[in-house]
Amino acid sequence: MLIDTYGRVATDLRVSLTDRCNLRCTYCMPEEGLQWLAKPDLLTDDEIVRLIRIAVTELGITEVRFTGGEPLLRPGLVGIVERCAALEPRPRMSITTNGIGLKRTAAALKSAGLDRVNVSLDTLRPEVFKTLTRRDRHKDVIEGMEAARAAGLTPVKVNAVLMPGLNDDEAPDLLAWAVEHDYELRFIEQMPLDAQHGWKRDGMITAGDILASLRTRFTLTPEGDDERGSAPAERWVVDGGPHRVGVIASVTRPFCAACDRTRLTADGQVRTCLFAREESDLRAALRSGAPDEEIARLWRLAMWGKKAGSGLDDPAFLQPDRPMSAIGG
């Protein structure tokens, strides 16, 4: 079991497979990209599977989410999913992706054992997509989502970040589109995880802004805390149902008290929180020949030190040294 001093138990593991990405989203990284991790620093496929096996069989993990960077850029992804699907007990597995590679991989990922996908899409307008991501790949994302739905990787969840002056007027249109195509839309407040450290609290689109915009066109009924559990998204029933929309308000409505996540970076570091500035090295233990029991002990020790909250409301808050692409979304 992965428990902390506040009694929270981690059952959800986020695994970053690579820090590389084929987009350059303005709220994540600069146009020229970043200094990527060297290949020897990355966990191998075998190391990833071993850590997931330890997490599932010894530490109580029941959900595994593969992230990045862009996880579809990981050459061994299908094999990793297939090997993890064979674990007992079998974890539920999902992936957070920009969707560009889904058209060619969705069927193989489903066959390997992946359960569902989260796809990032911030706009319905191709020209705005190109401005936000610095790439002309909007059509590829749409087709990737369609392929995921056709393959049975459902529910397909869509993650959208609204940015002032670019797509902040699109919330109702995005929701209408998601309802029409049977996708589950979740808006995510922009978080201080950009490589440029350019995030400003007073410039972000808040959960309140998003909900006010949605209510100009839709009737939203709160789903309630009992339904939410430890999920990061607050959800509302849209026009009486069955569709729902979520808002992940990490900044203005933090949900740290119910957090059940532990995170593993692409280079084998345990992170207790997206906003943590501390990491615990499991890669060194792996490569020094440590047995499973020792790796599990180190992981438990790391999680025992998890802080009460993200610290975003502290005037002395400092962004993590590493950007989201390195630590996993």
- Bind-site residues: 14, 21, 25, 27-28, 65, 69, 96, 120, 157, 191, 256, 259, 261-263, 273
List, as residue ranges, the binding site for S-adenosyl-L-methionine.
27, 69, 120, 191
Q: Using omega within 30 degrees of 0 as the cis cutoff, is the peptide bond preceding 89 cis?
A: yes
Q: What is the 3-state secondary structure (H, E, C) of the chain?
A: CEECCCCCEECEEEEECCCCCCCCCCCCCCCCCCCCCCHHHCCCHHHHHHHHHHHHHHCCCCEEEEECCCHHHCCCHHHHHHHHHCCCCCCEEEEEECCCCHHHHHHHHHHHCCCEEEEECCCCCHHHHHHHHCCCCHHHHHHHHHHHHHHCCCCCEEEECCCCCCCCCCHHHHHHHHHHHCCEEEEECCCCCCCCCCCCHHHCCCHHHHHHHHCCCCCEEECCHHHHCCCCCEEEEECCCCCEEEEECCCCCCCHHHCCEEEECCCCEEECCCCCCCCEECHHHHHCCCCHHHHHHHHHHHHHCCCCCCCCCCCCCCCCCCCHHHHCC
Burial of 131 (0-12, 13-18, 19+ CB in 10 A): middle
List, as residue ranges, the binding site for GTP.
14, 65, 96, 157, 261-263
List, as residue ranges, the binding site for [4Fe-4S] cluster.
21, 25, 28, 256, 259, 273
Asked if 163 and 26 touch (Cβ cutoff 8 Å), the reply is: yes
